[in-house]
Structure 1
């Protein structure tokens, strides 16, 4: 993701009243948005999110259904071992490196965190294969914290509307944290991700069925 993704026509983000109305509409349409990765507890969520890098949620879910049936705790995952884990996730991109990281983070959870997924970004980012986005997803979904996980969909949508303009995911994340009203903060990233995945698509956004079409300043809108 580079500055080329930032719409050149957007001199400044939309005003606070428009931000409020955008999220009011998202909430009215989908009051309790959910992530699409399947999980059974904070640990399996952490693993699923770590596996989802450069992969689709659908593909990850297909692989993890059988995996989580046999390894849904750090102890069980560590006992499974890297080689056997690879057999479960070999349909996922970068599966060899991901298997290495999942086994390493499982062992670290057992040895340093009493097999409990930590509740701070700093601690989560110490785990192998866990970056800021993964940590934000876990904090938000598992623990209800108002974090904003910026993936390619959210990055695109935020720059297009524009809500927060930024050349990097971190810039967009920090920008959104400043402008999203507190009452919408917990679900904000879900609404934006789902909007980007199913409506404001990369190649051809489906503007005619967009519920914020009249508020969005993206110029190359589709008819």
Structure 2
């Protein structure tokens, strides 16, 4: 779905807990990061579900065994991704409101998401002006963009693409792209979580209140 929406996402492979990790990563360049998909694990880093900078096939297999041992029967699988270049971590997402429809959410991401809770939201569909208001709507926005070292235009484009996706897929009740790693030359989503549900029937005229 993200590929069809042209949303930049790091290459991701998923290995179920009982599958062969060696076969899944045979042609993947290292270093890589392994992330556990385990029942009840919401914050992977804080919960010990992320192993960074793993080099070589032997170390990847060892890391896979470590996650199996750490989470036991709760482990459903492991995602494997190449290590991304350093950058600032942000959050871009969607929340569906039962009356007004989808809201696009923007804020600080990664470990800062719950620690600082600096977020802004606007109703979809976003205009270019709406996207700029989101980018400037955080308490930390001034410091975030002041250096000029982060690709603001790429994040702005990502917000517009996520807004369009929320319009085209009404079943998308929630979407979290967290973190989105932003550099001077673009941005890329490193993790995604989505929830789908059948939209309830609403008064069609409510949508026109936003036009």
Q: Same fold (TM over 0.5)?
A: no
Higher strand share goes to which structure? 2
Q: Given the two structures, how large is their TM-score scaled by the length of structure 2?
A: 0.32
Q: Given the two structures, how large is their TM-score scaled by the length of structure 1?
A: 0.30
Q: Which has the higher contact order (CA 8 A, sep 6+)?
A: 1
Higher helix share goes to which structure? 1
